[in-house]
């Protein structure tokens, strides 16, 4: 029971951190643009690109899921979100988001709490 709660709790946290990265990309975009059109383009475009990259290379159901593409996608999306927060003036959050993501990812990988393992365990 505890293992199931731990597994799904960590996967839930991973999902929330992924969503936070997408929101952070939008926050950066709306603060980075010079004009209203630029703010709209970056504020909506950056999260859209992040979602597209994640869906293609990092989601558990991604068609092009390889360790290298996953790692590059995490660096671009989560690292970009952290950098965006940093350069938008939210320096603490800019450091905290990638740090929490990497810490959670380490727990998920080291304890074999990934989504595929969780789904197999739930079907027993």
Q: How many domains does the chain contain in total?
A: 1
pLDDT, tens digit (0-9, with 9 covering 90-100), for 17-57:
999 999 999 999 999 988 999 999 999 999 999 999 999 99
| Domain limits for position 55 | 2-122
Q: What is the CA radius of gyration of the chain?
A: 16
Give the global pTM. Answer: 0.86
């Amino acid at each position: 029971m505890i293992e199931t709660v731990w597994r799904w709790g960590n996967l839930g946290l991973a999902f929330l951190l992924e969503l936070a990265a997408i929101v952070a990309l939008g926050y950066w975009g709306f603060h980075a643009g010079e004009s209203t059109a630029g703010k709209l383009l970056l504020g909506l475009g950056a999260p859209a690109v992040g979602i597209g990259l994640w869906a293609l290379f990092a989601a558990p159901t991604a068609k092009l899921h390889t360790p290298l593409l996953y790692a590059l996608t995490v660096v671009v999306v989560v690292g970009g979100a952290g950098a965006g927060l940093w350069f938008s003036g939210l320096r603490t959050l800019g450091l905290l988001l990638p740090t929490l993501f990497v810490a959670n990812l380490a727990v998920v990988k080291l304890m074999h709490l990934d989504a595929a393992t969780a789904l197999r365990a739930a079907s027993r």
